[in-house]
Amino acid sequence: DVKVTQSSRYLVKRTGEKVFLECVQDMDHENMFWYRQDPGLGLRLIYFSYDVKMKEKGDIPEGYSVSREKKERFSLILESASTNQTSMYLCASSPHTSGAAGEQFFGPGTRLTVL
Amino acid sequence: GDSVTQMEGPVTLSEEAFLTINCTYTATGYPSLFWYVQYPGEGLQLLLKATKADDKGSNKGFEATYRKETTSFHLEKGSVQVSDSAVYFCALSLNTGNQFYFGTGTSLTVIP
């Protein structure tokens, strides 16, 4: 079974702290994604990556950065956490496909609270 | 641009009732369409998918048919159970780029 794991289920940080959210997948997928999920807004894409060391901005990249040094690991970084970044963060991965789009596999999510 | 619109929730049904959750899409190309389900405290998992017009995806008693003429992919189940209580997301992906577009989610609660 495909497994996507996230480093923490719950995280509490203070305003201004640097925050790292880690995601690891074990199926050798090329594509990895970071979303945030907020009530009434659904999932919004923050960043994605098609390959090692490659990254693309999603719909809401402001205040975030990412790192993909190894194929299996995709990190989301909040350089200086703010209260409006309190949210559920979901990581996903998918194989690169040509033609019909491949399924995205999700981790369990990290609920981040910024005080 | 490419997007998905799904019906607002929350939806509350009695056990064994019929379920429909509407989903319509806008896409510049020929998308694949998906329904994902999120149970409380968990991440999203794929429920069903359809990759071309007139395809029907099905799983666990849920069905959805890819209707190109109405740009829709409505989710249906004939008899819901308490265990179906979850948030349901409609999504599309274009065949280029592998990027997904999700709807805002519809919360379903099934009461005994």
B85 contacts chain A (CB < 8 A): no
| A42 → closest Cβ in B42, B46, B104 | B104
Looking at per-residue pLDDT, the higher value among A95 and B17 belongs to: B17
Q: Is the distance from CB of A89 to CB of A36 less than 8 angstroms?
A: yes
Average pLDDT over residues B19-31: 91
- pLDDT tens-digit series, residues B51-91: 889 999 999 999 999 999 999 999 999 999 999 999 999 99
% pLDDT > 90, chain A? 74
**Token digits of residue A78:** 């909040």
Low-confidence ranges of chain A (pLDDT < 70): 1-2, 97-102
The answer to whether the CB atoms of A101 and B100 lie below 8 A apart is yes
Tell whether the model's pLDDT for residue B12 goes beyond 70. Answer: yes
Q: Rounded distance, CA A2 to CA B91, Å?
A: 20
**Token digits of residue B65:** 């048919």
* Residue A40: per-residue pLDDT: 83
Q: Rounded distance, CA A6 to CA A74, Å?
A: 10
Say which residues have a Cβ less than 8 Å from residue A84's Cβ, sequence separation at least 6: none
Cα–Cα nearest to A67, from A81, A82, A50, A54: A54
Cis peptide bond N-terminal to B31, omega within 30: no
The pair phi, psi for residue A83, each rounded to 5°, is -60, -30
The answer to whether the CB atoms of A101 and B44 lie below 8 A apart is no
A41 contacts chain B (CB < 8 A): yes
Looking at per-residue pLDDT, the higher value among B95 and B92 belongs to: B92
**Reduced to 3 states, what is the DSSP secondary structure of residue A48?**
strand
Mean pLDDT (chain B, rounded)? 92
Average pLDDT over residues B23-33: 89
* Residue A97: per-residue pLDDT: 67
